[in-house]
Structure 1
Amino acid sequence: MKIMRWLGSNLTSLILSLLLALVVWISAVTSANPNTEAEFILPLEVVQRASDIAIVDELPDSVRVTLLAPESIIQQLEEDNPLVAYIDLSEVTAGRYIFTVQIDIPDQLKPIRVLEKNPERLELKVSNLISKTLPVTILIEGEPAIGYQTGGLSWDGEAVTITGQESRVQEVSSVVGILDITDATGTISRTVTLQARDRSNEVVEGISLKPETVTVNQAISLQGGYRNLAVNVTTVGSVEPGYRFTSITPAPPTVMVFSEDPQLVEGLPGYVNTKPLDLTGVDDYLETILELDLPAGITVIGDPTVLVQVNVTALETNLVISREIEIIGLLPGLRAEVSPLQVTVSVSGPVPVLENLTLRDIRVVLDLTDLEIGTHTITPTVEILPDDVLFEDLSPTTVEVVIEDSSSTP
């Protein structure tokens, strides 16, 4: 009884104490992790069950939202934001509706208050999706190369199923694929992307096609009296001694020829010669224009000349020579005795260059800079002036040098 009387007389104080403790606790929590406003851009998704409807109007990709949440949650969202904005079409049929934009907030991120959404609502038209089947039409663009003609045209799949909003599907009058045969010189087999087009031949957007592509085969062959022949460059004479040509390239490499007598064209060997190219004394790159040497009754389609490019390079060999050692850097008042006085140098390079080497072109130098009196073993340095001459070997690789006072008796 005493306890009950005590509780009755102190109940008000107890309740006030609990409320005060709660306020203190909330204040402590809030001061440690205060609520903060922040703005985010969330992707907008569409939730729907039926697969035979689609939104006709343009739908925004994202929604701008302003959130109120503890600072720790705001920081978490800034690092990795799982929030998604969506509109729900689950119970919707064809018609025009106003949809409320909703925000999906995972339980582990609560409490979060959505203060503002932009847009907050969307007025959209929903249409039924329909399908229909249309035949495939292949359009040919361009012309084959001169002397070639088109033959049979075929493709796999005669019909295509198109699917889309009812109004869009009704606009489609044909399904077209385009094959470009410009300058083709042989049969073409190519995968072509199909397009849904209206009566004005404009592409209708928002239509899915199944299949989306077809493989088109266009036969292309030579016309009678025409033939594509390789260009053969004929030469006379020889390049400069010590040189060889590495390549002779005509441009174009092939030409189209024609004759009113198809049998005359068929009797050709598969190539056509140029007028002779004189290589006498050539020792460098050569570029020239040559006429084609055409048999009687044969004409070339286009330019009757070709550009010929000749690449010439010097033959390479090895050369072994002896050179006296040149001393540099010897301190004043000293003399040096080198053993041996001569060394053998092996080099390689173009024959014409090696045949015209002088003593100044290859030097063997012994640098005695800062060396004092005594006996030293040193590796000489080989200096070669022509850039296209390569050093291969030195024998011996080291020499002995005795440095003495020049005033002493040798």
Structure 2
Amino acid sequence: MARWLTNNVSLMILAVLLAVFVWGASSLQQDPIVENTLVAPVVIVSPPAAGQTVSASTLPTNVIARIRAPQSTFEALGANGVQVPVDLSLLGVGQHVVKLEPTIRAAPAMLLSYRPLTASITIEQITEVRVPIRVVVEGTPAIGYQAQLPSVEPTQAIVTGAQQLVSRVASVDAVINVEGARSSVQQNVLLIARDQDNNLVPNVGITPSIAAVRVPMEQLSNFKDLAVRVRPTGQPAEGYAITSISASPQVVTVFGPRDAIQQLPGFIDTLEVSVAGATQDVEQRVGLNLPPNVSPIADNMTVLVRVRIEPQQGALTVSRRPVVIGITETLSVKVSPLAVDIVLAGPQPTLNKLTRDSVRVEVDATGLGVGVHQLTPKVIVPEGVAVQSVIPTTVQIEVTEATTGDARPPDGPTAQTYASQRTS
């Protein structure tokens, strides 16, 4: 046995190697080794120590990593399986070069290469300084107005950050826009830090971050704002009325000698706008009725006037005989009362044009048998007309068997007989 083992040891080793090779080949076929390029985000795991801040940095957002691993490893990595952790807590004040080495959160895997390799970071001690708030007024007030000295509350702000950045701050500005203003402008404004060249200084904190700014406005003595008053003449057509009047612009600015301006009332009339006989809205551009030596700030200024004309709402009471529908030829009916009163509402011009045929009353007796029935009449009116009430609210229908002569309604003030006729 020992001799057989000695003589065949090489064959046994070869068999083991062959088995390992076959197993490895099978594994590689099922889970092949591949190389992929991944984007690894840079993550600050610890910020600088208390009282310190980053004043300058070339730290990238991501690092590009080349990795070799089985396919199953890449599938297990997921979205954040490769990251670049950076710890700033132990660096201290000064300039530093930080190594950007990705970590792979799955195995087996081999990091082949990555870029960039390093980043530079400057850490400085946090400092603060108190800076007066400067109000910056932008824009031009309306013609005839002048901006006065602005006020701001609070008057100072505290700027904090890296010493290198804080030392660049020359002013803390509150910017407010007064374009076209006719009265005092008051706003809560976000504060911004600027250097001596009026450039923004980034990455500094400002406390408070918002200030209340007010810019008073004063109208010059030879200018005045006047409300526009429209002067319509005439009356709309019968049954129509003016429901609203508007002007655009609603306020105009005029100028002239100081004495003439001070004597003006708080309004200015337009030239006359005729609405005589109008049945629809009137829209017209008209001039202003200005006194001598007084002019609008715009040459040849006109005002767009809109006068809304609508039909007047009215009411009308009419009387109509109910018409019975749905009765078979073998039956006849008596209706009581002979007529109902109907109160209508709607535009007066429409009510004035109503005819007897345009308002009808129907009573549906479909399916009714012999006997006395109380039914609600249906009133049919033109579009735009509303039925306010029907008096009485129900009518009595007496259905009887039809006999010779029932087609003629009997005499009497409270009943009428109808014999239905079938139409072919």
Equivalent residue number for residue 245 of structure 2: 248
**8 Å contact 2:44–2:88 — kept in the other structure?**
no
Cα distance in 2 for residues equivalent to 1:121 and 1:400: 102
Counterpart mapping for 1:282-361 below 5 A: 282-302=278-298, 303-361=300-358
Q: 1:327 to 1:148 in 2, by over 3 A?
A: same
Give how far 1:42 is off.
Answer: 9.7
Q: 1:123 to 1:380 in 2, by over 3 A?
A: same
1:204 aligns with 2:229: no
1:91 aligns with 2:90: yes
User: Alignment partner of 2:157: what SS?
Assistant: strand
Over the aligned positions, Cα root-mean-square deviation in angstroms equals 3.8
Q: Deviations over 1:170-218 (max 9, x none)?
A: 4434333322111111222222222222344332221211232332232
Give how far 1:156 is off.
Answer: 3.1
Q: 1:259 to 1:90 in 2, by over 3 A?
A: same
1:374 aligns with 2:374: no
**8 Å contact 2:55–2:164 — kept in the other structure?**
no
Letter in 2 for 1:359: R
**8 Å contact 1:101–1:120 — kept in the other structure?**
no
User: Alignment partner of 1:234: what SS?
Assistant: strand
Give how far 1:134 is off.
Answer: 3.6
Q: 1:336 to 1:148 in 2, by over 3 A?
A: same
Letter in 1 for 2:356: L
Letter in 2 for 1:161: I
Cα distance in 2 for residues equivalent to 1:165 and 1:233: 64
Equivalent residue number for residue 226 of structure 1: 223
Q: 1:88 to 1:397 in 2, by over 3 A?
A: same
1:56 aligns with 2:53: no
Give how far 1:230 is off.
Answer: 0.8
**8 Å contact 2:59–2:121 — kept in the other structure?**
no
Letter in 2 for 1:274: T
Cα distance in 2 for residues equivalent to 1:372 and 1:192: 79
**8 Å contact 1:258–1:301 — kept in the other structure?**
yes
Cα distance in 1 for residues equivalent to 2:405 and 2:148: 103
Cα distance in 2 for residues equivalent to 1:275 and 1:346: 43
**Aligned partner (choices 258, 263, 274) of residue 259 of structure 2:** 263
Letter in 1 for 2:273: L
Equivalent residue number for residue 27 of structure 1: none
User: Alignment partner of 2:387: what SS?
Assistant: strand
Cα distance in 1 for residues equivalent to 2:131 and 2:391: 86
Letter in 1 for 2:279: D
**8 Å contact 1:56–1:165 — kept in the other structure?**
no
**8 Å contact 1:99–1:124 — kept in the other structure?**
no
Moved more, 316-325 or 163-172: 163-172
Give how far 1:349 is off.
Answer: 1.7
Equivalent residue number for residue 11 of structure 2: none
Q: 1:114 to 1:324 in 2, by over 3 A?
A: farther
Q: 1:120 to 1:258 in 2, by over 3 A?
A: closer
Cα distance in 1 for residues equivalent to 2:369 and 2:335: 13
Q: Deviations over 1:305-359 (max 9, x none)?
A: 2111111233323222111112333334443332223111111122222222111
Give how far 1:284 is off.
Answer: 2.2
**Aligned partner (choices 176, 180, 187) of residue 184 of structure 2:** 187
Cα distance in 1 for residues equivalent to 2:107 and 2:354: 91
Letter in 2 for 1:252: P
**8 Å contact 1:373–1:402 — kept in the other structure?**
no
Stretches of structure 2 that go unaligned for 5 or more consecutive residues are: 1-37, 65-75, 407-424
Give how far 1:152 is off.
Answer: 2.0
Q: 1:55 to 1:274 in 2, by over 3 A?
A: closer
Cα distance in 1 for residues equivalent to 2:42 and 2:96: 23
Letter in 2 for 1:96: H
Letter in 2 for 1:316: Q
Cα distance in 1 for residues equivalent to 2:227 and 2:234: 23
**8 Å contact 1:257–1:299 — kept in the other structure?**
yes
Give how far 1:255 is off.
Answer: 0.8
Give how far 1:397 is off.
Answer: 1.8
Q: 1:114 to 1:55 in 2, by over 3 A?
A: farther
Equivalent residue number for residue 277 of structure 1: 273
User: Alignment partner of 1:309: what SS?
Assistant: strand
Cα distance in 1 for residues equivalent to 2:60 and 2:108: 19
Equivalent residue number for residue 152 of structure 2: 155
Equivalent residue number for residue 419 of structure 2: none
**8 Å contact 2:374–2:397 — kept in the other structure?**
yes
Counterpart mapping for 1:368-407 below 5 A: 368-369=365-366, 371-375=367-371, 376-387=373-384, 389-407=385-403
User: Alignment partner of 1:294: what SS?
Assistant: coil
Give how far 1:102 is off.
Answer: 11
Letter in 2 for 1:54: V
Cα distance in 1 for residues equivalent to 2:405 and 2:115: 107
**8 Å contact 1:44–1:63 — kept in the other structure?**
no
Letter in 2 for 1:381: K
Cα distance in 1 for residues equivalent to 2:58 and 2:330: 97
Q: Deviations over 1:130-171 (max 9, x none)?
A: 333444333221111011112223323444332223443344
